[in-house]
């Protein structure tokens, strides 16, 4: 069996989730129908909504079901921008961290290209962290033109946890809504929507042992959003579409499990991560860690994230060599896989392009074991040596 170290891309579905989804798929009823079967389906949806809200420190009415994290982020960013712009045409500036997932970056770039938006990219430090003072300075340049501030809760590539509470408070001083992508954070670090001060928060099921194709936008009741889809208006008139009752039921099981087992899970992941990082950096190849790192830390960095930079080689070469040896990992976001360019996250952190190209992202999950880490460390030397030889040969040939 291959060793799977790409849980930030997707993780194994929990057995209890499979059981719950299968149970609901055997039923019948559209949650918007008024007859008995429809009401039964609606009850499952609403009970799931209550479970998710309780786990995330939110009200049930704030939980809006979506098809996943990407739709939730798009609805938050584009929906807020359009509503704010409609209410006040001068609100055309977005403040967005330079290390966001492409679910945020690409819709921001669309708004700039097609809808008159302007963007101020919030710089990060060498660990990938946004300084709240940077946000304050960007707002105070011209506070009356800002439509939205968006900073992810935890980075999907290097695992850096952002000071979301402080940033939200600064945004609110100027009556600006704050959105955070918490897709990677939920289940690894404490996420409390109410305490965070966020107005909008995105999460998805398949990162925490839930089904693919279902997620949530947690949106405060006073969050003003233009819908991106039109039809039945099933979710607070801001998201239309027949609700996927089986997937929603499975998502509730996954969120409840992830939050309920968070502390023991984080400790387990951090232990494996530290073993992996120690073994890789001690191997003698000049391997370094990207982002904040301290043994045992589960607050400044996601406990399941180990992002390594290997000198004098290409990350893609390492990925394929490790894959051939039975170890599955990535060079960055799965959504950008196959794109031969260095990570925008590393470049924003000030990592030179040559170093950024030698990146490996290894992420652990609920099925990860000591044996997985040992298998990676056993396969690493041969992969690095071969990748470095190929790099030297390509440079020598002038390619």
Residues designated as active site: 335
Residue 308's SS3 state is: strand
How far is Cα 386 from Cα 391, in angstroms, rounded to an integer? Answer: 9
Instruction: Write the DSSP assignment of 212-265 as a string of letters.
Output: TT-EEEEE-TT-----SS-SS-TBTTTB-S---HHHHHHHHHHHHHHHHTHHHH
How far is Cα 78 from Cα 83, in angstroms, rounded to an integer? Answer: 9
Centre a 10 Å sphere on the Cβ of residue 144 and count the other Cβ atoms it contains: 12
C-beta contacts of 334-342 below 8 A and 24+ residues apart:
334/6, 334/8, 334/9, 334/10, 335/101, 335/102, 335/103, 336/102, 340/316
Instruction: Write the DSSP assignment of 270-293 as a string of letters.
Output: HHHHHHHHHHHHTSSS--EE-S--
């Amino acid at each position: 069996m291959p060793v799977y170290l790409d849980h930030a891309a997707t993780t194994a579905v929990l057995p209890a989730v499979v059981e719950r989804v299968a149970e609901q798929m055997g039923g019948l009823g559209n949650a918007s129908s008024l007859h008995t079967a429809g009401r039964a389906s609606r009850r499952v949806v609403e009970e799931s909504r209550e479970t998710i809200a309780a786990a995330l420190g939110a009200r049930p009415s704030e939980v809006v079901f979506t098809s996943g994290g990407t739709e939730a982020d798009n609805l938050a960013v584009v929906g807020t921008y359009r509503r704010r712009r409609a209410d006040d045409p001068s609100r055309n500036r977005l403040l967005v961290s330079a290390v966001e997932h492409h679910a945020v970056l690409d819709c921001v770039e669309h708004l700039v290209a097609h809808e008159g938006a302007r963007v101020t990219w919030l710089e990060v430090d060498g660990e990938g962290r946004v300084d709240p003072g940077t946000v304050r300075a960007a707002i105070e340049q011209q506070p009356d033109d800002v439509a939205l501030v968006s900073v992810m809760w935890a980075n999907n590539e290097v695992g850096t946890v952002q000071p979301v509470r402080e940033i939200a408070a600064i945004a609110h001083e100027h009556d600006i809504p704050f959105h955070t992508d918490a897709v990677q954070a939920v289940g690894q670090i404490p996420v409390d929507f109410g305490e965070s001060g966020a107005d909008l928060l995105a999460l998805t099921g398949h990162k925490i042992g839930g089904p693919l194709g279902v997620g949530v936008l947690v949106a405060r009741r006073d969050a003003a959003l233009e819908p991106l889809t039109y039809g039945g208006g099933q979710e607070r008139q801001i998201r239309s579409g027949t609700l996927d009752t089986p997937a929603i039921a499975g998502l509730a099981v996954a969120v409840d499990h992830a939050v309920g087992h968070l502390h023991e899970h984080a400790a387990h992941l951090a232990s494996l991560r530290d073993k992996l990082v120690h073994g890789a950096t001690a191997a003698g190849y000049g391997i370094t860690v990207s982002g904040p790192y301290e043994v045992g830390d589960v607050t400044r960095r996601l406990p399941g994230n180990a992002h390594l930079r290997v000198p004098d080689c290409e990350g893609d070469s390492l990925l394929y060599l490790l894959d051939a040896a039975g170890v599955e990992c990535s060079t960055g976001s799965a959504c950008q896989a196959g794109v031969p360019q260095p990570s925008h996250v590393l470049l924003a952190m000030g990592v030179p392009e040559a170093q950024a190209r030698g990146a490996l992202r290894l992420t652990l999950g609920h099925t990860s074991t000591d044996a997985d880490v040992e298998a990676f460390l056993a396969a690493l030397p041969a992969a690095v040596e071969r990748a470095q030889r190929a790099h030297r040969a390509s440079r020598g040939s002038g390619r």
